[in-house]
Structure 1
Amino acid sequence: MGTGPGTGTRRVERDDDKAMETAVRLLDEAFQDDPVSSWVFPDPAHRREKHPHLMRAFLEVALDEGHADLTEDGTATALWLDVPAGAAQDGPAEDGEDGPAQLRAAVDPENERVELIGRLTASVHPHGRAHRYLLLIAVAPDRQGQGAGAALIAPVLQECDREGLPAYLEASSARSSVLYERLGFAHLGEPLRLPDGPLMYPMWREPRG
C-alpha cells in the first residue's frame, strides 16, 4: 500500500530515480497540449524538446518547497508547495533569488515566456495566510476523466481541513476550473489573461471544518 498521505499513493523522493522520471513523464504528457504550455512554447517541436525540462524544474521546486505525490500505479502525480504566512511569491522558486529568471535560465534561456509565466502568476497569488499551493496535477491521458486526480489530491485537502489551512491553485482552463469547484475551490478575482494567450483561473479553497 502507499506510504504517502493516502492509500495507493506515495511521496516522491529525490533519490528515487524511477519515481522522479515517472512524475516528469506524467507532467509532460498531461500538459504537452495544455493551453498554457502551448503559449509558453508555441512551436510544437520546440515544446517537445523543452517542455520536459520545465516539468522537471517544477518537480524540483515542489521537492524543495513542499512535496510531490505519485499514485502507486504511476498514473497520476501532484505537486504541492507549502506557502507560509506573509510569504511573497516571486514565481516557482523561493530561495532568495529571482525565481522566474532562474527558471528561464535553466529551462530555455531564449524564451522570455518561461520567465513571464512565473511573474504573471506571482502577480495574482494571494499573500498573507499560510496555505497549500497545488502547483500542478497530472493524470495519464488514458486515465483522465475517471477521478484519479481528485482521489490523489483528496488526502492533502483533508489535511488542510484538519489543520485549518486554505489551498490555492491556478486552473489552466475553464473546464478544469469546473472540476476544482467540485472539490471546494472557488474563483478568486478575475482570470489572468496571458499576453496574446489563454486565460488562467486563480482559485482558493477555504478549509472545511
Structure 2
Amino acid sequence: MNAPDATPQVAPARRADVRELACTLGRAFFDDPVAMWMIPDPGRRAKALPITFGAMARHHYLPGGGLDVASDGLHIAAAALWSPPGGWRTTRGQDLRMIPSFLRAVGTQFSRARQADELMKENHPEEPHWYLGVLGSDPTFRGAGYGRALMDSRLAHCDAEAAPAYLESSKPDNIPYYERFGFVVTGELALPDGGPTLWQMWRAPR
C-alpha cells in the first residue's frame, strides 16, 4: 500500500473503526522501545499490539470521547487516543474488560506491562488535563501530515477549553516533534528491568 497524495481527514472514531485503527497502531508501534521491551519476540509483538490497542480503544478511549482518527478517505492512516480532564484513570470495570485481551496479547510479559502502567500512574500529573495516551501513524503514511492533523485538531480543542495537555514520549527522537506543538519536557521515567526511558511532556493552553 503506497501513501496516497490526499489531505488528511480527521474525525472522531466509531466503534466500527476500532479493528482498523488497532492494526494501524500496531504497525506504528512495532519498533517502539517500550513495545520491544515488553514483547521482545517480533512475531508475537506483531500479533499482540493490535489486540492491546484494540482493547484500550474499545473499553477506555472510545467511551471517553477522545478517540480520533485521520484518514485519506479510504484507510485509517493514524490514530490518537486521548483521555479528557479527570478521565485518564481506567475504571475497575474497564480494567476487568481489558485484562483478558492484555493477557492473551503479552502472556508471560504481563508483569512488565503492569509495572510500566503503575510507574506511569504514580507519576501522572494531578492537575486536570487532556492526556495523550497514544499517537501513531502507519509507516506507509508517515511524514504525510496525518499525525500533525490529529494533534492540531485536538490541541485546538484544548486551547478552546483553556486546558493543558500531557503525554509521555517513548522515543527521544519524538521530543522535538512534540516541542513544535508547545510541549516541554518536565521529567523522565526509567522503566524497570533495564527498560527504556519515558519523557514526560506538558503543554500549557494557548
Question: Residue 95 of structure 1 aligns with which residue?
Answer: 91
Q: How many residue pairs align between the two structures? A: 190
Question: Residue 3 of structure 1 aligns with which residue?
Answer: none
Question: Residue 23 of structure 2 aligns with which residue?
Answer: 25
Unmatched segments (≥5 aa) in structure 2:
1-7
Amino acid aligned to 2:101: A
Contact persistence 1:167–1:205 (CA under 8 A): yes
Q: 1:141 to 1:107 in 2, by over 3 A?
A: same
Question: Residue 117 of structure 1 aligns with which residue?
Answer: 116
Unmatched segments (≥5 aa) in structure 1:
1-6
Provide Cα deviations, 1:40-62, integer angstroms capped at 9, x if missing partner. Answer: 10122221232221111221221
Task: Say which of 175, 178, 186 aligns to 1:177.
Answer: 175
Moved >4 Å (runs of 4+): 101-105
Contact persistence 2:57–2:81 (CA under 8 A): yes
Task: Say which of 140, 147, 166 aligns to 1:149.
Answer: 147
How much is the aligned-residue C-alpha RMSD, in angstroms? 2.0
Task: Say which of 101, 105, 123 aligns to 1:106.
Answer: 101
Amino acid aligned to 2:54: R
TM-score of the pair, normalised by structure 2: 0.84
Cα distance in 2 between the residues matched to 1:33 and 1:202: 20
Q: Which has the higher contact order (CA 8 A, sep 6+)?
A: 2
Residue 193 in structure 1 maps to residue 193 in structure 2: no
Cα distance in 2 between the residues matched to 1:184 and 1:53: 32
**1:146 deviation in Å?**
3.2
Question: Secondary structure of the residue that 1:75 maps to in structure 2?
Answer: strand
Q: 1:77 to 1:150 in 2, by over 3 A?
A: same
TM-score of the pair, normalised by structure 1: 0.83
**1:105 deviation in Å?**
4.2
Contact persistence 1:124–1:202 (CA under 8 A): no
Question: Residue 5 of structure 2 aligns with which residue?
Answer: none
Question: Residue 79 of structure 1 aligns with which residue?
Answer: 81
Q: 1:44 to 1:151 in 2, by over 3 A?
A: same
